[in-house]
Amino acid sequence: MPLFSERSDKTREVNISISHLLSTLAFAVLSGVPLVWALVRYWLFAP
């Protein structure tokens, strides 16, 4: 394994971490907003 690949491996790990964090955040927002809206709508408009 050449010495210069060590830096690119670290960069690749950082890029994967950031993309994983962003995808997790996007999934949480997209799945959480409808759930929160359903609960608020139920509480506000419940008979």
Between CA 45 and CA 41 the distance in angstroms is 6
pLDDT tens digit string along 1-47? Answer: 445 555 555 666 667 788 899 999 999 999 999 999 999 998 888 76
Q: In this structure, is residue 21 part of a structural domain?
A: yes
Q: Which residue blocks in the chain are alpha helix, DSSP H?
A: 5-45
Q: 32 is in which domain, residue-wise?
A: 9-47
At 18 the pLDDT is 86
Q: In this structure, is residue 2 part of a structural domain?
A: no
At 10 the pLDDT is 62
Domains in the chain: how many in total? 1
At 1 the pLDDT is 43
Between CA 32 and CA 24 the distance in angstroms is 12
